Amino acid sequence: MLATVTGTYKNGQIILDEELPVKSENAKVIVTLVEDTVENQEKPKRTSGLLKGAFVGEYWFSKEFNDPLDDLKDYM
């Protein structure tokens, strides 16, 4: 069984925000650290009308790009 529980690492100890969902005294754990700076960073503002990525600049596609496909004619 996998379960996720949040907590805080302070002075060499991990203080959990809630009890573990397992009642075993010997439970294996995996610890993943999340930096505070990631949570506090501002998200970049989105600007409408600008397309960034693969289609920036000139690109080419076939004139038959929007033509129906013969493979799908049974479903159309």
Query: Is residue 49 in a domain?
Result: no
Query: Is residue 72 in a domain?
Result: no
Domain count, the chain: 1
Q: H or E stretch including 15?
A: strand 13-16
Query: Is residue 1 in a domain?
Result: yes
Query: Is residue 65 in a domain?
Result: no
Residue with tokens 């496909």: 69
pLDDT tens, 38-61?
556 677 777 666 556 666 667 777
Query: Around 20, how many Cα atoms within 13 Å sit in the side-chain half-sphere?
Result: 13
Q: Which residue has the higher pLDDT, 20 or 55?
A: 20
Query: Is residue 59 in a domain?
Result: no
Range of the structural domain that residue 26 is part of: 1-37
Give the pTM: 0.39
CA neighbor of 6 nearest in space, from 25, 32, 38, 36: 32
